[in-house]
Amino acid sequence: MIEDLIRALHMSHRVFYTLLFGTLIIGSLLVGFALNRLLHHWGNRLSDGWGKMVFSLLESLSMPLLFIAALYLGLESLPLPEKFEHFGSKLVFALVVLVLMYFPAKVIVLALRRMGQKDPSMLRVTQPASFVVQMLFALLGTIIFLENLGVTLTAVWTTLGVGSVAVALALQETLSNLFSGLYLLADRPIGPNDYIRLDTNQEGYVLRIGWRSTVLRTLGNNYVIIPNSTMAKATITNFSEPETRMSYSLPVGVAYGTDPQKVEKALLEATREAIRDGLQGLLSAPEPSVSLIPGFGDSSLNFSLNVQLNQFTDQFPVQSDLRKRIIKKFQEAGIDMPFPTRTVVLDKSTQELLGDKSQS
């Protein structure tokens, strides 16, 4: 039957089988494309979950699997030249290897994507991780593909081995910042808009955590750019976690001999008036308190007025307003706020010397 068809079309066997092979390949691609669109449509109708992941995986594999199946079928069933069959068998094997590399990479990428959809804050980690996974599997698949086609990579490996050492030494600081940035993104000790302070006294709002550095915006509206390696090794105080609300103690000193109960009453009255007046940043709960801490100073009794603030930066306007109100309350209550005094005792020889100078 095939021979009759060849004679009817006035073609040589070689041309006929080549066209038949091409038709088989093109047909597999068209069927694969149609199946891809169908699976894509069904996948979009599903809610996010494992079912959608399975359809996404099948959607991406439909065309390459049908193409490999058509290629293998053509090589096995059609009388093609031996040289062509030998090259085609190697190509089929290489494509199977690439698909086998693509499959686990796709599964990992879909899992990371699903993780990012569940927790948007993880997108900072899942997106670069997906890129790294794809690159690693693509590199491994390409190596196996070239080796199977007979392309020797010995010289390439030797060059890469020597070059990688030189690159690693040259980019040591950059790589340190890169991996420190990945640590900060994964462990999340800080996040955007957190107010932090480092043990080196740099402080400010976190604007972004990049691959090389972390950017802080200070209260003076300036940028402080800190290498990620420094951030990873620093002791960080995060004033925005576990919540932005914080307690603050305002030190107040009064003269010795003052009634502590009187001082406590004046401080609490000043604070409660500020709360009633709606002083921004000062919270009513938990209620303010006063303690005789640190207590006995060199020239004063030292109290602590303990209040609750909405966030770290509210302490500055709250301090200023409370101090004004405390001064007014102390004046009304007759409470003195002493300044440091020192008594200087002169020995006899110094007194005589000063006396002689005053007489002259």
More confident residue, 316 or 119: 316
State the average pLDDT over residues 21-34: 75
More confident residue, 298 or 114: 298
pLDDT higher than threshold 70 for residue 318: yes
* pLDDT bracket for residue 98 (50, 70, 90): confident
* pLDDT bracket for residue 306 (50, 70, 90): very high
Q: What is the mean pLDDT of the chain?
A: 76
Q: How far apart are the first and last CA of the chain?
A: 143
Quick check: helix, strand or coil at residue 200? coil
Least confident range from 26-35, 51-60, 296-305: namely: 51-60
Q: How high is the pLDDT of residue 19? A: 67
pLDDT higher than threshold 60 for residue 314: yes
pLDDT higher than threshold 70 for residue 265: yes
pTM: 0.54
pLDDT higher than threshold 80 for residue 47: no
Q: How high is the pLDDT of residue 229? A: 85
pLDDT higher than threshold 80 for residue 278: yes
Own/partner pairs, 24-32, CB within 8 angstroms, 24+ separation: 24/70, 24/73, 24/74, 25/67, 25/70, 25/71, 25/74, 27/70, 28/66, 28/67, 28/69, 28/70, 28/71, 29/63, 29/66, 29/67, 31/66, 32/62, 32/63, 32/64, 32/65, 32/66, 32/67
Q: How high is the pLDDT of residue 182? A: 73
**CATH class, range 187-238:** mainly beta
* pLDDT bracket for residue 141 (50, 70, 90): confident
Q: How high is the pLDDT of residue 64? A: 75
Given CATH 2.40.50.140, say whether it is the number of domain 246-333.
no
Domains 187-238 and 246-333 belong to one CATH topology: no
Q: Where are the domains of the chain?
A: 2-167, 187-238, 246-333
Q: What is the DSSP string of 56-83?
A: HHHHHHHHHHHHHHHHHHHHHHS---HH
* pLDDT bracket for residue 31 (50, 70, 90): confident
More confident residue, 244 or 122: 244
More confident residue, 196 or 78: 196
More confident residue, 339 or 285: 285
- Helices marked H in the chain — which ranges? 2-9, 13-44, 50-77, 82-118, 123-148, 154-170, 172-187, 228-233, 260-276, 315-333, 348-359
* pLDDT bracket for residue 73 (50, 70, 90): confident
Tens digits of residue pLDDT in 197-240: 998 888 899 988 877 788 999 888 889 988 888 888 888 888 88
pLDDT higher than threshold 70 for residue 124: no
Tens digits of residue pLDDT in 282-297: 888 888 999 998 888 8
User: For helices 82-118 and 50-77, what crossing angle results, to 10°?
Assistant: 180
Quick check: helix, strand or coil at residue 295? strand
pLDDT higher than threshold 60 for residue 8: no
Q: Residue 265 has which token pair?
A: 């009453």
